[in-house]
Structure 1
Amino acid sequence: MTGMPPAIRTDFPYETTHTDVRIPLPDGTRLYARVWRPLTDEPVPALLEYLPYRLSDWTAPRDWQRHPWYAGHGYASVRVDVRGHGNSEGLPGDEYDATELADGVEVIDWLAAQPWCTGRVGMFGISWGGFNSLQLAALAPEPLKAIVTVCSSDDRYDNDVHYMGGSVLAVDMHAWAATMLAFVARPPDPVSAGEGWREMWLNRLEAVEPFLHTWLAHQTRDAYWRHGSVREDYSAIKAAVLAVGGWHDPYRDTVLRLVEHLDPARVRGLIGPWSHQYPDRGLPPGPAIGFLQETLRWWDQWLKGEDTGIMAEPLLRSWISASHPPATVYPELPGRWAGEPAWPSPNVTVVPYAFQGEPVVVDSPHQTGLDAGRFFPFGNDADLPPDQRDEDAKSACFEFPVTGGLIEILGRPRVRLRLRLEVPAGQAIARLCDVAPDGSSTLVTRGVLNLSARKGRDRAVPWPEGATEDVTFELNGIGHTFPPGHRIRLAVSSAYWPWIWPRAESAGFTLEPVGSSLELPVRTATDATDAVDRAISFEPAEQAEPMGVVSPVTLDEERPERLVIRDVARGLWRLEVDPRYGGTRVYPDGLEFTEDALETYTIQESDPLSATARSDWRIRLHRPELAWDARVETRSEISCDVDDFITSNEVICHDGAEVVFHRTWEKRIPRTAG
């Protein structure tokens, strides 16, 4: 299901051309790049998008939506593959490692030195490309004057795919490590890499190490995670920053932190209703906006010195959703735009809601969380959480009726919980829900705390057995309106599988309502705020002409995106997830690209040590005209016992009928904190 598709633009101020080049690095490695340029004799600023995701195939359809558009508006727009990926030379490394960032600085300097460039460079990207845009901005290469960072994080430990509230993110720690194992095993394309493609491929494969090993080896916020986390020193960022997120993207809190901590004269924040996608793509939930036009205002302001009015916009523009019934997909969400002059906003007041009642034992069955939805919504039909009534029934719930006028919240809710534990470890999960008069429960936002991380994410402090303590943690940021007649529900559980990996020794906790509370960031409307809000507008979404990739119909039966299976007799629950990244597609140059993935999560409802995650990938790249047929198969599994995480990874690569690489990794990693 999709929202309103973007308009296709072909009448640009400049005619354009594009060419593939190799950017030399000091050690002799050459990075593969595609450069779109306006046809003009005058030098222009350059824009860089820098990713490991293969510009010649995997991101090519998305690249063609925006890079030619920027070139048509007077910019050299450049897409570069990270070292060891796609058709770039060299060996792959860890995500955002020092080599990747040093290479990025060299690329920026190379762009600035080209005769067709004015010497001023901007950088943009979503997810990985948004991360390294921020990280390179913190290194402050002189030519880098502005960035647009979309769906990215300033905190690699607690706001990425690895950990949440100090707990291991089972759903994406494992799934993304498995995805990257499959991605890094893909071969270079002989059309672009030349006759040496196979030697490049084999050298890469010999260097592969599953990311999962490294990520699980660092279960608290240590030096490994501080590297690349710009929250460690916001003042290092000198470039102007346009920070963009979506309320259905897990990284949206970074936007709030960036507008709070960066120089307000050089930062603006934008949070819409979107998932983990560029806001012009028309993927649900919408509405989409003219994002390319909005970023052009940013580039013209900071790279061409034009006053585009973008710095007169509110510091933070955000979408505040109206109340809506639960659903796993929304083409468009009801709501409106709101503007804040500062963050924290003078329009937002923290309002406490005290819990009532007697102490309650919270010992949720371990399948609690199967209705959490996808950690990374991409705009698919089964991404978002369904009705939360089943999850609420496995939680301790505290309700607050909405009387009088509506309650509009903007920011990060906070919970204060008074807990008693009889064991040294546990986890608390809080979900904020909007309960309609018919009883339906819509998830608004949520937060997690590994109780051993209550003193800080950089340490693990066991809970004194039998002791009562107060803990405080924030939920993810949100903009939402609770209407009169509804109820605000705060649901607290001790399990949240498969988002959160269960602690082996967890036995729930006792929650004491006296001393516990929910704090909501309530936004108060005035004539002045209404005037600012009404003035916010965006042009309709538009993009460049599509690349012309075809997705053929196959005979394979389409499986469900998310399928829950229950073995009633054994108390066993199984979640199967098809991430649906791309399927089969045929490119204009004849490349046939097929990928298929299935993630599986199983748990026994009364046994935290039964948790198992598995991911299987199959990828095929085929060029019939060259008789080239390369295939990659990977398998990744993780389980646990009391002492260790137990991981198993396998990669098999074929060149035609020949198996050219086969390796299995078996590793036990001590459970220290996560």
Structure 2
Amino acid sequence: MRIVETEWITLSDGCRLAARLWLPASAAPVPAVLEYLPYRRRDRHRGDDAILHPALADCGYAAIRVDMRGAGDSDGVMNDEYTPQEWRDACEVIGWIASQPWCSGNVGMIGISWSGFNALQIAALRPPALKAIVTACSTDDRFADDMHYMGGALLSDNLQYGATLFTWTPTPPDPAIVGERWKDQWLERLAAMDTPPAARWMSHPTRDAYWRSGSVCENYGAIEAAVLAVGGWADGYTNTVPRLLAGLSAPRKGLIGPWGHAFPHVASPGPRMDFIHYLKRWFDHWLKGEDSGIMDEPMLTYWMQEAQAPRTRYDNRLGHWTAEATWPSPAIAPHTWYLSPQGLQTEPAEVFCRSVCSPATTGLASGEWCPYGSGPDMPGDQREDDAGSCCFDSPPLKATLQLVGQVQVALSLSADRPQALAAVRLNAVAPDGVSIRISYGLLNLCQRDGVDQHQALCPGEEYTVSLALKAAAFEVPVGYRLRLAVSSAYWPLAAPLPWLTTLTLSAGHMQLPVRHNACEAPRLGEAWAPPPLAAQVLVPPERGRLRLSREMGDGDTTLEVVRNLGALRIAETGLRLEALGHEHYRINARDPSDARSEAVRHASFTRGGWRATLDTRSILTCDEQGWQLESTLQAHHGDELCFSRQWRHRFAFFPDNVLLFPYEGEEQ
């Protein structure tokens, strides 16, 4: 293949976007596959690109990686995700690709996470050359299923991912590509950082127009290109694949493995599969018009997880591949279980009264909202979290139970505070007492009537609320019990409120999606990938919850999390890259009023005598009135401080009173 390190794409307004191309050796025009994202093709994302795009070229496609406006070596600035400008630029890029002599005129898109999001969003705009997309680990609903909120409850991932984007949005272009103007571009990007991302997202605590923009579930009919939706049961975005299959009218197919947040040929936990061949068959059908047989296979292929002792990290998950011919599947029917004083039962139960005031540390076994599988970030044994919850157990199962889809839960409850959280988990309890989380859901009880509104609770008043747990596929063995666990805290996955809350339950039920008939899965093959990026690893990548500390006397608990992409010297570009980060979460189990979450990030780029660094710090606390977010950004060129700014934002718990206070500090 022929590799073009930098190809400039000039947009209609004069903005130039930097692209990297992998072109097949064939002289004949071929279809093209685009990945379009801000994660720096020259360095930060170069390793990921190395194990995907050469493979696409080897399959007979022109592979194109474009840095968005304001990212990497491209012109301009970028200060938010999923904007209309981002989409307009992409449509122009697709038109440019289709007009190139090496392109047949048919274009596909592929992406994971950010580029998976915008593949859907751009498909909804229907650029004429775009015929098919692959969207992995993404969402069709930005408020319901992204790293910011879950059931209206603020996630700690809003802080950690906000800190990451806070650091990487204003990174400089490479002087080896753009020349002497690199510093002017860098300063322009730094000056454009008017609001830290985490603060922007916290200023939209309900599903308003900000979140509806870019949520393709608002109009599935806008998408006409064929959609391959890919996910993993360990990933944060488990609801997207079944929802897309049910909502889209365009040709579609779904694939869900046991994986975390990664493409299936490199994901953990395994087993992995031959995703490269699967992509070839998908694009051969839609971009080349060849009958690859892929559309004759079941609509949804997925990994049925089987019970095993829970661990915070797995090499492989027990289970087997299976499939559904269509989705929603006629092989899946709802089975209702009712909450009762005796636990879970299959007949309606009398009204009861059970209260729970969860320790603020309930949730330590939650794992990350979005596990990557490369470190200790999966949910562990749930028994300690169960001890801080109100639990309802079924009798031991007399037959194996296969659950596929989302569990629906309804509860009648009251709270002793005007603001409260309900966290609901469905567990499988082994005969020896080990508790395995099947799925979970959160609900900010102030959004009980819909995530587009926020209404204070009347303490002591009873409400009937409903929530859907995250989609899952899990086989519960004979002899195991089901456990529905309800808690008033889920830390640190959910950002903590500054008080302990008592929930009082009086009734409830859950509907389980029970599968009755098997469907044979297609063969998926053994995983392979092109060789990894040639680089000298200086600091190995590391990600996950590293260390938990408890003060046995006063109840103080701290959790340390690492988020290192690592430090490496990239042979192809002669660049040393550092991408290091960590978080520190602290709370008192009996008094969460001084809880504190802190995220620190460091990025640096070094070649010869040139060195550019960025350092950020983000701190989240709260009191009886609301959240406080303090943010700091500093940038250095060598030893010279180029830019420094601090922000302080305050957000009232009730969004009609959102207050924003910029910090009156040093800005250079």
Confirm whether residue 641 of structure 1 aligns to residue 623 of structure 2: yes
Q: Please report how far the alpha carbon of residue 580 of structure 1 lies from its aligned counterpart in structure 2 after TM superposition.
A: 2.9
1:552–1:586 contact (8 Å) kept in structure 2: no
Q: Please report how far the alpha carbon of residue 422 of structure 1 lies from its aligned counterpart in structure 2 after TM superposition.
A: 3.4
Provide the rounded CA distance (Å) in 2 between the counterparts of 1:368 and 1:478: 22
Provide the rounded CA distance (Å) in 2 between the counterparts of 1:28 and 1:204: 18
Confirm whether residue 194 of structure 1 aligns to residue 185 of structure 2: no
1:146: which partner in 2?
132
CA RMSD of aligned residues (A): 1.8
Match of 2:552 among 568, 575, 579: 568
1:143-542 correspondence to structure 2 within 5 Å: 143-169=129-155, 171-208=156-193, 209-263=195-249, 266-281=251-266, 283-357=267-341, 358-504=352-498, 507-512=501-506, 515-525=507-517, 529=518, 532-533=519-520, 535-542=521-528
Match of 2:562 among 552, 575, 578: 578
In structure 2, relative to structure 1, the CA distance for the partners of 1:189 and 1:451 (3 Å cut) is same
Please state whether the residue corresponding to 2:613 is helix, strand or coil: strand
Provide the rounded CA distance (Å) in 2 between the counterparts of 1:560 and 1:98: 34
1:35–1:77 contact (8 Å) kept in structure 2: yes
Amino acid corresponding to residue 231 of structure 2 in structure 1 = G
In structure 2, relative to structure 1, the CA distance for the partners of 1:399 and 1:585 (3 Å cut) is farther
Please state whether the residue corresponding to 1:31 is helix, strand or coil: strand
Provide the rounded CA distance (Å) in 2 between the counterparts of 1:228 and 1:572: 41
RCO comparison, higher one (Cα < 8 Å, 6+)? 1
1:316–1:343 contact (8 Å) kept in structure 2: yes
Amino acid corresponding to residue 515 of structure 2 in structure 1 = R
Confirm whether residue 95 of structure 1 aligns to residue 81 of structure 2: yes
In structure 2, relative to structure 1, the CA distance for the partners of 1:505 and 1:611 (3 Å cut) is closer
Provide the rounded CA distance (Å) in 2 between the counterparts of 1:585 and 1:551: 7
Deviates more, 1:230-239 or 1:186-195: 186-195
1:275–1:285 contact (8 Å) kept in structure 2: yes
Provide the rounded CA distance (Å) in 1 between the counterparts of 2:543 and 2:204: 36
Q: Please report how far the alpha carbon of residue 520 of structure 1 lies from its aligned counterpart in structure 2 after TM superposition.
A: 1.1
Provide the rounded CA distance (Å) in 1 between the counterparts of 2:47 and 2:370: 20
Amino acid corresponding to residue 518 of structure 1 in structure 2 = M
Taking structure 1 as the reference length, what is the TM-score of the superposition?
0.93
Provide the rounded CA distance (Å) in 2 between the counterparts of 1:596 and 1:88: 24
Q: Please report how far the alpha carbon of residue 506 of structure 1 lies from its aligned counterpart in structure 2 after TM superposition.
A: 6.1
1:44-123 correspondence to structure 2 within 5 Å: 44-123=30-109
Amino acid corresponding to residue 568 of structure 1 in structure 2 = M
1:561–1:579 contact (8 Å) kept in structure 2: no
Q: Please report how far the alpha carbon of residue 284 of structure 1 lies from its aligned counterpart in structure 2 after TM superposition.
A: 2.0
Which runs of 5 or more residues in structure 2 are unaligned? Answer: 342-351, 659-668
Provide the rounded CA distance (Å) in 1 between the counterparts of 2:108 and 2:474: 33
In structure 2, relative to structure 1, the CA distance for the partners of 1:449 and 1:559 (3 Å cut) is closer
1:402–1:483 contact (8 Å) kept in structure 2: no
Task: Name the count of aligned residue pairs.
Answer: 645
Confirm whether residue 664 of structure 1 aligns to residue 646 of structure 2: yes
Amino acid corresponding to residue 593 of structure 1 in structure 2 = L
Provide the rounded CA distance (Å) in 2 between the counterparts of 1:332 and 1:93: 38
1:120–1:145 contact (8 Å) kept in structure 2: yes
1:7: which partner in 2?
none
In structure 2, relative to structure 1, the CA distance for the partners of 1:141 and 1:54 (3 Å cut) is same
Q: Please report how far the alpha carbon of residue 159 of structure 1 lies from its aligned counterpart in structure 2 after TM superposition.
A: 0.2
Match of 2:119 among 121, 133, 145: 133
Provide the rounded CA distance (Å) in 2 between the counterparts of 1:406 and 1:360: 30
Q: Please report how far the alpha carbon of residue 501 of structure 1 lies from its aligned counterpart in structure 2 after TM superposition.
A: 2.3
Provide the rounded CA distance (Å) in 2 between the counterparts of 1:345 and 1:210: 43
2:345: which partner in 1?
none
Provide the rounded CA distance (Å) in 1 between the counterparts of 2:454 and 2:91: 36
Q: Please report how far the alpha carbon of residue 589 of structure 1 lies from its aligned counterpart in structure 2 after TM superposition.
A: 2.8
Q: Please report how far the alpha carbon of residue 385 of structure 1 lies from its aligned counterpart in structure 2 after TM superposition.
A: 1.4
Deviates more, 1:586-595 or 1:20-29: 586-595
Deviates more, 1:354-363 or 1:232-241: 354-363
1:20–1:34 contact (8 Å) kept in structure 2: yes
Confirm whether residue 628 of structure 1 aligns to residue 610 of structure 2: yes
In structure 2, relative to structure 1, the CA distance for the partners of 1:378 and 1:112 (3 Å cut) is same
1:276-326 per-position Cα deviation (integer Å, ceiling 9, x unaligned): 000001x42110001111011111111111111111111111111111111
Amino acid corresponding to residue 22 of structure 1 in structure 2 = W
Q: Please report how far the alpha carbon of residue 463 of structure 1 lies from its aligned counterpart in structure 2 after TM superposition.
A: 2.6
In structure 2, relative to structure 1, the CA distance for the partners of 1:453 and 1:543 (3 Å cut) is same
Provide the rounded CA distance (Å) in 2 between the counterparts of 1:389 and 1:596: 33
Q: Please report how far the alpha carbon of residue 552 of structure 1 lies from its aligned counterpart in structure 2 after TM superposition.
A: 3.1
Please state whether the residue corresponding to 1:550 is helix, strand or coil: strand
1:12: which partner in 2?
none
Provide the rounded CA distance (Å) in 2 between the counterparts of 1:403 and 1:671: 43
Deviates more, 1:204-213 or 1:186-195: 186-195
1:399–1:487 contact (8 Å) kept in structure 2: yes
In structure 2, relative to structure 1, the CA distance for the partners of 1:258 and 1:559 (3 Å cut) is closer
Provide the rounded CA distance (Å) in 1 between the counterparts of 2:645 and 2:16: 28
Provide the rounded CA distance (Å) in 1 between the counterparts of 2:654 and 2:562: 31
Provide the rounded CA distance (Å) in 2 between the counterparts of 1:587 and 1:31: 24
Provide the rounded CA distance (Å) in 1 between the counterparts of 2:52 and 2:498: 47
2:374–2:544 contact (8 Å) kept in structure 1: no
Provide the rounded CA distance (Å) in 1 between the counterparts of 2:516 and 2:400: 10
Deviates more, 1:18-27 or 1:160-169: 18-27
Provide the rounded CA distance (Å) in 1 between the counterparts of 2:73 and 2:526: 35
Q: Please report how far the alpha carbon of residue 371 of structure 1 lies from its aligned counterpart in structure 2 after TM superposition.
A: 1.8
Deviates more, 1:409-418 or 1:128-137: 409-418
Amino acid corresponding to residue 516 of structure 2 in structure 1 = T
Amino acid corresponding to residue 616 of structure 1 in structure 2 = V
Q: Please report how far the alpha carbon of residue 231 of structure 1 lies from its aligned counterpart in structure 2 after TM superposition.
A: 0.5
Please state whether the residue corresponding to 2:489 is helix, strand or coil: coil
Deviates more, 1:127-136 or 1:599-608: 599-608
1:543-558 correspondence to structure 2 within 5 Å: 543-552=529-538
Provide the rounded CA distance (Å) in 2 between the counterparts of 1:595 and 1:295: 30
Identical counterparts, % of pairs? 42
Deviates more, 1:497-506 or 1:410-419: 497-506
2:497–2:622 contact (8 Å) kept in structure 1: no
In structure 2, relative to structure 1, the CA distance for the partners of 1:506 and 1:426 (3 Å cut) is farther
In structure 2, relative to structure 1, the CA distance for the partners of 1:507 and 1:545 (3 Å cut) is closer
Q: Please report how far the alpha carbon of residue 548 of structure 1 lies from its aligned counterpart in structure 2 after TM superposition.
A: 1.0
Taking structure 2 as the reference length, what is the TM-score of the superposition?
0.94
Amino acid corresponding to residue 520 of structure 1 in structure 2 = L
Q: Please report how far the alpha carbon of residue 550 of structure 1 lies from its aligned counterpart in structure 2 after TM superposition.
A: 2.3
1:358-393 per-position Cα deviation (integer Å, ceiling 9, x unaligned): 421111011111221112211223111121111110
Amino acid corresponding to residue 519 of structure 1 in structure 2 = Q
Amino acid corresponding to residue 511 of structure 2 in structure 1 = E
